[in-house]
Structure 1
């Protein structure tokens, strides 16, 4: 247990001193009439289809992590292609970082005290190595404003703002609040694209019990090895 506590402390110390992620509180959720709610759900389903169709979904920004006792903030870079992911969390001030890479069957974390560690369960790997609860298997979907695979993570409950924008996803015991959005153009410059801008989140708060993840996304990308 002492080893695990020291690893968690090292992780949190590595992230200390970085720019914090602003907490703007929860979204204003509207009580929509049935027809408006159906329209919002249809728009959400269409947006999710576009997000899932992207060959690569990548973002960079700032992250704040907490488990009720320990926590910290830092820079995050995330690249997802199908089930494969690569996540780098770094603290520019201390120049320390760790890297997580894997797929649906296995994951490896390196840059931590004691050398690289691997496990078939990525959430268990991160809890053991850092003491933090991070929903890696679902976070790429949630970060993109989409429900994670319901066959794996269970049914999701959606809530929308009064103007029909996604405000919250509740899934697998997590509550994900969407505090800000931006327009992106994944198909821009491609012949015959002709699609409207894709709405993607830029401020997200996720919580399950004492575990909290806050994201402030600075840039989105759908090209390999970006952003």
Structure 2
């Protein structure tokens, strides 16, 4: 397997299709939009107090030329993270872990690779565009505090439907209350920028037991 041969089964088409959510149909009236923004700010304040969490699910990646899918286990503790992907069919896996200033990628030919930025490390080593640090916020339906200005769009029920930040567009679906966190979290997240796509289906959220 070459360095750019990320060990994910090339089975992404079904998951990529299944993850697509409905884009916001029309802007909410100003008063309803303001109320939705206020609820979003309150959600983000709660999430900031629950900086230790874990998700397990399925992920599909595409860069316009290649696509792959597999299982994902993401552990987060503040700025520290550990993201493991595995392809059950090929029995291969890789893991990236680090914090705000360091990243280490394991599971590729040639041994571990390290760098200061997880996104750049993955891009150079695998060809995949995965904004790891920003996704730590985005996957929970929150704006990335280290990112630029964000645009929010809400569905008719007031839930966050789309977030745009730093050139990425995040679409959300299947919100469910997570008692451990005290807020709703999305079970489906689609992230796109140009030809790069990350599709995530969350099978389980948990809080307070992550230990990167």
Q: TM-score normalised by the shorter chain: which range applies?
A: over 0.9
- Tell me the residue number matched to 2:55: 59
Whether 2:76 is the aligned partner of 1:72: answer no
Gaps of at least 5 residues in structure 2 are none
Using the size of structure 2 for normalisation, the TM-score is 0.93
Larger radius of gyration: 1
Alpha-carbon distance in 2 for matches of 1:26, 1:92 = 29
Q: Deviations over 1:51-72 (max 9, x none)?
A: 1111412101000001111120
Q: How many residues align?
A: 209
C-alpha displacement at 1:199, in angstroms? 0.5
Gaps of at least 5 residues in structure 1 are 188-196
- Tell me the residue number matched to 1:184: 178
Contact 2:24 2:162 (8 Å CA) reproduced:
no
Structure 2 SS opposite 1:69 = coil
Using the size of structure 1 for normalisation, the TM-score is 0.87
- Tell me the residue number matched to 1:167: 161
Aligned counterpart in structure 1 of residue 188 of structure 2, from 184, 195, 203: 203
Q: Deviations over 1:31-68 (max 9, x none)?
A: 21111111000001111111111141210100000111
1:175–1:17 Cα change, 3 Å: closer
Question: Which structure has more strand as a fraction of its residues?
Answer: 2
- Tell me the residue number matched to 1:24: 20
Q: Over aligned residues, Cα RMSD in angstroms?
A: 1.8
Structure 1 SS opposite 2:41 = helix
- Tell me the residue number matched to 2:136: 140
